[in-house]
């Protein structure tokens, strides 16, 4: 890989031992993947935040970096943590877990990272522009920024994203290059998609089929950003789709070469079979919405549904702290709380220790959550649209 004089100096340790080591990591990853040079990044999103995921080894690494005065050079956000960072006691998160989680957050704060903890940084003040190079980690955020915004990122691991934040650059390979952003399979959608969960099951089905290919969708007539978020999240979870295009909807679709590709069709039958496969449980003892983190619109929909009613079982909706604050001003949080539900910030069901909190069956409307909950949280899953999930608890 070609390095500038300045970059050679970093590699020789002129900017200190931490920079040297992290820069070497980027150079080596660049060599492994055939990068020609480093490129500056506009922002970073770091994964590996929940104590449940990274454990003591990750916590000790981060504390060590912070104690050596590592500082980020660009706007850097974090993936969800293992708990609501403010109201963890109220929701019953275990105290020893909380202690370690707060140590991790403290290490990030010392490095100059914005202690945000969300998988939707683009809804919380970290919005890249079209064609901006970024280094993001969380798979649904990577999919959204590549596909819906048209920014450019590979799926970074926790340490490589942290290295990009501290060095301000990332190796130029993979999805940073236009030739690698071309679709590799066509997906014809021949079914009406109404609920966000329809987009989730479409995404889950397609991800299983195409694995790490780049799909080019036709036949999706309309979709808002909540629905695209659900689609991308599910595809990244069941497959490894980091970029997709939708004819007439996403910004690079018109520019990409979509002719002559192998194609698959998704109709009513396939969508229904995805719903069936994602359902492994019968009656949920908790319903958790907001995977990926809910937008203000999604919280307002839930508030509308439960206004003046009483929920039989807990209903959570997970979101970022910023969106929760906006929902607070609109009175949504109070409406949901009065009905017996909770607007939970900073965390999500996949990275929080819900299995330790006594829950066995979780109701979700997210294809991504339905994909991960059985393995990560030992949950049976009821997968349905928001109407059926919430009405089942009234």
Partner 1 sequence: MNGRTISPGKAEGEAIVSPEPIGFYGGIDAKTGIVIEKGHPLEGECVTDKILVFPCGKGSTVGSYVIYGLKKNNVGPAGIINKETETIVATGVILAGIPCVDQIDIEKIKNGDRVVLDADKGLVEIK
Q: Does 375 interact with partner 1 (rule: CB under 8 A)?
A: no
Helix %, strand %, coil % for the chain, to 5? 45, 15, 40
Q: Compute the distance between CA of residue 142 and CA of residue 120 in angstroms, rounded to an integer.
A: 10
Tell me the two tokens of residue 147. 């596909």
Shortest separation between residue 73's beta carbon and partner 1, angstroms = 19
Cβ contacts of 148-153, under 8 Å, gap ≥ 24: 148/225, 148/228, 148/229, 148/232, 148/250, 148/251, 149/122, 149/251, 150/250, 150/251, 150/252, 151/42, 152/176, 152/181, 153/242
For partner 1, the closer of residues 158 and 341 by Cβ is 158
Instruction: Print burial letters for 97-131: b (CB count within 10 Å at least 16), e (below 16).
Output: bbebbeebbebbebbbbbbbbbbbbbbbebebeee
Element (H, E) at 238: helix 225-238
Shortest separation between residue 30's beta carbon and partner 1, angstroms = 11
Q: Does 48 interact with partner 1 (rule: CB under 8 A)?
A: yes
Dihedral sign (CA 160, 165, 167, 171): positive
Residue 368 backbone phi and psi in degrees, to 5: -65, -50
Tell me the two tokens of residue 86. 């403010």
Among 8, 14, 36, 64, binds partner 1 (CB under 8 A): 64
Shortest separation between residue 58's beta carbon and partner 1, angstroms = 4
Shortest separation between residue 228's beta carbon and partner 1, angstroms = 26
Q: Compute the distance between CA of residue 370 and CA of residue 280 in angstroms, rounded to an integer.
A: 9
Q: Does 262 interact with partner 1 (rule: CB under 8 A)?
A: no
The 3-state DSSP class for residue 82 equals coil
Q: Does 55 interact with partner 1 (rule: CB under 8 A)?
A: yes
Among 1, 10, 19, 29, binds partner 1 (CB under 8 A): 29
Among 2, 16, 28, 267, binds partner 1 (CB under 8 A): 28
Q: Does 56 interact with partner 1 (rule: CB under 8 A)?
A: yes
Q: Compute the distance between CA of residue 137 and CA of residue 117 in angstroms, rounded to an integer.
A: 12
For partner 1, the closer of residues 40 and 55 by Cβ is 55
For partner 1, the closer of residues 60 and 328 by Cβ is 60
Tell me the two tokens of residue 112. 């100059």
Q: Does 82 interact with partner 1 (rule: CB under 8 A)?
A: no
Binding pattern for the stretch 143-182 against partner 1, x by CB under 8 A and - elsewhere: --------------xxxx----------------------
Shortest separation between residue 312's beta carbon and partner 1, angstroms = 37
Pick the piece of the chain touching partner 1 (CB under 8 A) from 25-33, 111-119, 331-339, 355-363.
Answer: 25-33
Annotate 288-351 with three-state secondary structure.
EEEEEEECHHHHHHHHHHHCCCCCCCCEEEEECHHHHHHHHHCCHHHHHHHCCCEEEECECCCC
Among 8, 60, 325, 328, binds partner 1 (CB under 8 A): 60
Shortest separation between residue 57's beta carbon and partner 1, angstroms = 4
- 8 A C-beta contact, residue 139 and residue 235: no
Pick the piece of the chain touching partner 1 (CB under 8 A) from 56-64, 172-180, 277-285, 339-347.
Answer: 56-64
Q: Does 208 interact with partner 1 (rule: CB under 8 A)?
A: no
Q: Find the radius of gyration of the CA atoms of the chain.
A: 21
For partner 1, the closer of residues 20 and 37 by Cβ is 20
Nearest to 69 by CA among 26, 112, 33: 112
Nearest to 164 by CA among 17, 38, 49, 6: 38
Among 54, 151, 246, 377, binds partner 1 (CB under 8 A): 54
For partner 1, the closer of residues 245 and 368 by Cβ is 368
Shortest separation between residue 157's beta carbon and partner 1, angstroms = 5
Shortest separation between residue 25's beta carbon and partner 1, angstroms = 5
Shortest separation between residue 154's beta carbon and partner 1, angstroms = 11
For residues 235, 239, 242 and 246, what is the CA-based torsion angle, rounded to 10 degrees? -40
Q: Does 195 interact with partner 1 (rule: CB under 8 A)?
A: no
Q: Does 32 interact with partner 1 (rule: CB under 8 A)?
A: yes
Total residues contacting partner 1 by CB under 8 A comes to: 21
Residues that bind partner 1 (CB under 8 A): 21-22, 24-25, 28-29, 32, 48, 53-58, 60-61, 64, 157-160
């Amino acid at each position: 890989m070609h390095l500038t004089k300045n970059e050679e100096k970093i590699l020789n340790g002129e900017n200190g031992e931490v920079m040297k080591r992290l820069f070497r990591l980027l150079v080596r990853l660049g060599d492994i993947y055939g990068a020609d040079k480093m490129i500056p990044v506009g922002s970073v999103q770091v994964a590996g935040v929940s104590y449940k995921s990274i454990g003591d080894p990750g916590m000790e690494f981060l504390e060590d970096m912070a104690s050596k005065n590592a500082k980020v050079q660009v706007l850097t956000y974090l993936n969800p943590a293992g708990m609501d960072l403010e109201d963890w006691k109220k929701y019953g998160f275990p105290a020893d877990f909380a202690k370690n989680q707060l140590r991790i957050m403290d290490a990030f704060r010392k490095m100059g990272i914005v202690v945000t903890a969300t998988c939707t940084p683009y809804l919380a003040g970290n919005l890249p522009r079209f064609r901006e190079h970024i280094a993001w980690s969380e798979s649904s955020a990577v999919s959204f920024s590549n596909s819906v915004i048209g920014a450019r990122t590979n799926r970074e691991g926790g340490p490589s994203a942290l290295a990009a934040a501290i060095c301000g650059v990332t190796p130029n390979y993979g999805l940073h290059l236009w030739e690698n952003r071309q679709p590799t399979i066509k997906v014809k959608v021949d079914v009406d998609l109404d609920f966000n969960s329809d987009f989730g099951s479409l995404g889950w089905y397609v991800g299983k089929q195409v694995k790490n290919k780049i799909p080019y969708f036709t036949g999706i007539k309309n979709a808002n950003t909540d629905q695209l978020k659900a689609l991308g999240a599910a595809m990244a979870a069941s497959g490894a789709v980091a970029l997709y295009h939708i004819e007439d909807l996403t910004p690079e679709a018109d520019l990409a070469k979509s002719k002559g590709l192998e194609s698959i069709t998704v109709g009513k039958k396939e969508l229904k079979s995805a719903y069936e496969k994602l359902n492994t449980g019968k009656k949920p003892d908790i319903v958790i919405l907001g995977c990926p983190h809910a937008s203000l619109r999604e919280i307002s929909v839930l508030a509308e549904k439960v206004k003046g009613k009483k929920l039989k079982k807990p209903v959570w909706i997970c979101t970022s702290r910023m969106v929760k604050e906006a929902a607070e001003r609109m009175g949504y949080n109070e409406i949901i709380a009065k009905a017996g539900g909770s607007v939970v910030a900073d965390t999500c069901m996949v990275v929080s220790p819900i299995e330790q909190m006594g829950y066995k069956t979780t109701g979700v409307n997210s294809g991504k959550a339905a994909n991960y909950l059985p393995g990560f949280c030992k949950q049976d899953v009821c997968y349905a649209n928001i109407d059926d999930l919430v009405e089942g608890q009234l």
